Structures are given as C-alpha cells and as structure tokens.
Amino acid sequence: MNLHTESYPTNQCCIIGKTKETWGEFSNMAAFPIVINDVTILTSEALYQALKYPEYPEIQKKIIEKKSPMAAKMVQKPFRNFIRDDWNDIKIEVMKWCVELKFYQHKETLIQLLNETEEKYIAESSRKDTFWGCKIEGGFLIGQNILGKIWMDIRENPKPPTNPILPQIENFKLLGSTTNDTYFQFR
C-alpha cells in the first residue's frame, strides 16, 4: 500500500463523510456490528481502539461496551500510556483486519456498495486527519487516505475469504483470547 500523501479530484471520489450520508457505510463509525467469540462489537472503530490494549482486557471491555463509536474512541483516551509499544508499527495492519472483518461479516451490503463506487477513488474526508483520510482543499482531497486505500484494495479483490485471515501480530489479543486460541471465532 502506498503511504504517500496523494491528491484526489473531489469529482472523481466517493467521499466517506458522516455515516448517514452517501458512502458513510465505509466509515469506521458506521453501525456494522462485528462478532468475535460471541462478543458483539458495534463498530470497526470500537474494535480498532480495543486492539490497542492486548494486555488490558478490562480497558478493551470498557471500549467495546460503549454504545457509540465516538464514545468508544474517547473512553480509551485516559489509558493512552497503556497502548502497546509497537502500535505505530502495526496500526495499519490492525485497521486492515478490522475493515476486512467488517466486510466479511456484512459482505452482501458492502459488495453492492463497493460495486456502486465503480472505479472512483474512495477517500475519507477529515478536517484534521490526513493519515487515515484527507482534507478538502479547493477541488481536491489531499492526504495519505489509508482507510480509503484499504477499501479500494478490497474492491480490487472483492471475494471474501472463507475465514478472515488473522494478522500475524505477536500478542494479538481481544478480551484475553489470542490468535493462537482455537476458539477465536467469527460469525
């Protein structure tokens, strides 16, 4: 995946904005519940935030229990000192897994939506975040757009796997279960 800042003409983009707007389903804030080991996580955002804390299932539980994705994101802020040390090295791989899991568990809806994007760029519009998304400047979206690139990669290879592929990340845990546990199961 290209990690460079790019520029996308807005008229050639499917822009991820608010969850209730067109293309909002691609947002990590969109309500597409993910089920892992019989635990329902309301959004891919909550799952992503929880995975920052593999050694702290109590923090993960607080994040997962929140009813809104923004509350899930905010509840973890006081615990930032406990984020895994290698987070910056693995966060893209974790995000990719969260988005692929969302896709896998909601493939009928999301395949149809990806087909509607045709060959346009998929880009997240953000006022602040040019890593996961882009800022609108004039008639362009400018940023690294990692979330949009993940969705475009999925669009290029839309066949969902028979089982989600777990990331090969050391100490990858959710609520005490590791990827080595045979019961790490998905819906």
For residue 60, pLDDT over 70 is answered with yes
pLDDT tens digits, residue range 87-122? 999 999 999 999 999 999 999 999 999 999 999 999
What is the pLDDT of the chain when averaged over all its residues?
Answer: 91
Taking the model in full, what pTM does it have? 0.92
Give CA–CA dist 134/166, Å, rounded: 28
* pLDDT (mean) for 35-59: 95
Domain-wise residue ranges, the chain: 1-26+120-162, 33-105
Which pLDDT value is given to residue 161? 58
Q: Which residue has the higher pLDDT, 166 or 99?
A: 99
User: Above 70 in pLDDT, residue 28?
Assistant: yes
Mean pLDDT of the region 15-24: 96
Given this model, what pLDDT does residue 16 score? 97
Backbone angles phi, psi at 144, to 5 degrees: -75, -30
Alpha helices by DSSP H, listed for 7-106, are: 44-50, 57-65, 69-75, 87-105
